[in-house]
Amino acid sequence: MTTLDPVMLAVLKGRLEQIADEMDATLFRSAFNPIIAEAHDASHGLYHAETGETLVQGKSGLPVFVGAMSFAVKAVIDKVAAEGITLHPGDVFIFNDPYEGGTHLSDFKLVRPFFRGGKLFCYLASVGHWHDVGGNVPGNYNPVATECYQEGMLIPPVLLCRAGEINQDIVAILQSNSRLPGSLYGDLNGQVSALELGEIRLSELLDEYGEDRINAALIELKKSAARLMASFIEELPDGTYSGEDWLDNDGITDMPLKIGLDLTISGDRMTLDFSRTSDACDGPVNISRSTCIASCYVALKHIFCDVPANAGVLEPITFNIPETSLLSVGRPKPVGGYTETILRVVDVMFQVMSQVAPDMTNGCAYGTINALSMAGYRKNGARWVMFSFFGGGHGGHPAGDGLNHGNAPISTATIPPLEILEAAYPVRFTQWALRPDSGGPGKRRGGCGAVYEIELLEEKADAFLFGERGKFAPAGVVGGGPGAVNKFFYPDENGGRAEPPMVSKMVGIKLRHGQRVRLETPGGGGYGNPMDRDPADVADDVRLGYVTATAARDRYKCVVSDAGVLDEAATARLRQET
């Protein structure tokens, strides 16, 4: 077997990652819909020829897809074996089945076998969030779905390309099931092009270094990730640590749902036991087992930042996810709001890990993408659908305060710029600002959430929201306080403001020209005792508008003027009295 010195391994690791990075960039530049082109809700990678395990993923791709896409590729491998399909160079499978490949119906996966010398070497795969894939709600985040068929079209693994030739019948079926067939066509071709580029780049790399070296590098990278993860776990104290967090409701019944975790460390092994989690629910906050495992990977990557992005990271981890749980459902249970649930899985991981290694974790982030869609028809009859997700505060951490107005920690995606949204759709943002006092108090303050107010410029439209954290605020850790809860307002029939009966979930909001919807997103949880925060930092928070003078007094026992000037003597007296 070929052996590699550390320098050569590092070179090949960089070259392999560059292939996935170029695939990412190709799709980002060619996609039609802003969720891919601007927000970068997509991912590419190389996957094992027999197991489907993630070999390499690009640095720009969403981390949650590291785990999920390995299940997607394995679904194709299983189909090929079960049906005796003979693969050819240029074949491409396409599907969006969330129970086989994880996530939800909006995420379309394309899987392409890569051949070398007539032999299957690996698979290349692409996943991207398409703008609209049918279903009851434009943009597909249907908060009242009770089965997957109300969320969009469900496509099993089928051959999109045979030996490089696209099956136009498949394309026609996909386009006829979307409100935005042009956007779908552009995104589809962008993903096909990304896979073609990946094949070219991988062939060039193999020509330069040979199959034996590249295979050796892929094997060693996985082993290295597994060893590194095991070594990190071994440094932690043995024991069982428990925690829980809650979803507001499932969109159907206004009852909270528990995500319960018991984490056991024994030597260099970790067990994640979700047995105390609520059973599968009627509404669309269920997720598949593959999605749950992928979200645990994301949390671990936040905590153990140095581990590489490949399947080796999960080798020292054992999962116990009951089949009856909302974290392990099958068809036809709805899973459209998977983002909300995996964020809660990440949150409970942070909270439990804060008991194990408080210097390695952080307060919970805002915990909801607030999937908002507005849809209608332009004066010329053209259909428009604005779908976007929105930011909030991240948790305070040992090294500093949480990020203000960041994107959800399940991804490296970005929040679509308002200029792009205003240019593409008949809307105007009348407010796009930080939300004061939304960050949880702590020695390290949670980041601020945001305020978004959106005005309709067309004659009429429908609006839909799928959010969370309206009842259960993002938790702080190590003595830090929670962030603010989520708020959403829309016009009522009397010209006033209404809030959703399900707190952060609503369908069928009827808007007229000039009416506005308003989101006030959560801040992150704090880290550490608020009384340990330097009063000078509190004064800076007031001066910058992150914290009001009233909150500075109530939360930190600091007397600060509205202009951000600290009264040191009054602060000392107040803290002494407290």
When pLDDT is cut at 50, 70 and 90, the band that residue 51 belongs to is very high
Residue that is last in its domain, among 226, 250, 284:
226
Residue that is last in its domain, among 198, 226, 254:
226
Q: Comparing 207 with 2, which gets the higher pLDDT?
A: 207
Q: Are 565 and 429 within one domain?
A: no
**Percent of the chain whose pLDDT exceeds 70:** 99
**Contacting residues for 415 by C-beta, under 8 A, at least 6 apart:** 39, 388, 389, 390, 391, 405, 407
**Residue 493 pLDDT exceeds 90:** no
Q: Are 477 and 556 within one domain?
A: no
CA distances (Å), origin 13, targets 10, 56, 117, 229, 310: 5, 8, 23, 18, 11
Helices 6-30 and 181-209 pack at an angle, to 10 degrees, of 160
- Residue 574, in any domain of the structure: yes
Q: For 149-208, what is each residue's pLDDT tens digit?
A: 999 999 999 999 999 999 999 999 999 999 999 999 999 999 999 999 999 999 999 999
- Residue 514, in any domain of the structure: yes
When pLDDT is cut at 50, 70 and 90, the band that residue 2 belongs to is confident
**Residue 474 pLDDT exceeds 80:** yes
Q: Are 507 and 547 within one domain?
A: no
Q: What is the pLDDT of residue 119?
A: 96
Average pLDDT over residues 281-306: 92
The tokens describing 219, both together, are: 């094997």
Q: For 398-408, what is each residue's pLDDT tens digit?
A: 999 999 999 98
Q: Give the Cα separation of 358 and 175 in Å (integer).
A: 50
Q: What is the pLDDT of residue 519?
A: 98
CA dihedral sign, ordered 488, 387, 145, 248: negative
When pLDDT is cut at 50, 70 and 90, the band that residue 416 belongs to is confident
Q: Which helix (H) or strand (E) holds 534?
A: none
Q: Give the Cα separation of 130 and 182 in Å (integer).
A: 11
Q: How many domains does the chain have?
A: 3
**Residue 338 pLDDT exceeds 80:** yes
150-164, 295-309, 491-505: which has the highest mean pLDDT?
150-164
Q: What is the pLDDT of residue 60?
A: 77
Q: What is the pLDDT of residue 118?
A: 93
**Residue 15 pLDDT exceeds 70:** yes
**Percent of the chain whose pLDDT exceeds 90:** 88
516 phi, psi to nearest 5 deg: -130, 150
Q: Are 465 and 510 within one domain?
A: yes
- Residue 324, in any domain of the structure: no
- Residue 415, in any domain of the structure: yes
Q: What is the pLDDT of residue 309?
A: 78
Q: Are 565 and 463 within one domain?
A: no
Q: Are 441 and 568 within one domain?
A: no
Q: Give the Cα separation of 34 and 30 in Å (integer).
A: 11
Q: Are 101 and 178 within one domain?
A: yes
**Residues of the domain holding 577:** 534-578
Q: Are 559 and 495 within one domain?
A: no
CB atoms under 10 Å from CB of 520, counted, come to: 21
- Residue 283, in any domain of the structure: no
The tokens describing 442, both together, are: 């702590």
Q: For 29-48, what is each residue's pLDDT tens digit?
A: 999 999 999 988 999 999 99
Q: For 253-285, what is each residue's pLDDT tens digit?
A: 999 999 999 999 999 999 999 999 999 999 999
- Residue 29, in any domain of the structure: yes
Q: Are 18 and 165 within one domain?
A: yes
- Residue 16, in any domain of the structure: yes
When pLDDT is cut at 50, 70 and 90, the band that residue 1 belongs to is low
Q: For 343-367, what is each residue's pLDDT tens digit?
A: 999 999 999 999 999 999 999 999 9
Q: Are 163 and 17 within one domain?
A: yes
Average pLDDT over residues 225-249: 96
Q: Are 521 and 565 within one domain?
A: no
SS (H, E, C) 195-232: HHHHHHHHHHHHHHHCHHHHHHHHHHHHHHHHHHHHHH
**Residue 411 pLDDT exceeds 90:** no
Q: For 456-470, what is each residue's pLDDT tens digit?
A: 999 999 999 999 999
Q: Taking the model in full, what pTM does it have?
A: 0.94
Average pLDDT over residues 94-99: 95
Q: What is the pLDDT of residue 392?
A: 97
Q: What is the pLDDT of residue 59?
A: 79
Q: Are 491 and 553 within one domain?
A: no
Residue that is last in its domain, among 517, 533, 549:
533
- Residue 47, in any domain of the structure: yes
**Average pLDDT score, the chain:** 94
**Residue 130 pLDDT exceeds 90:** yes
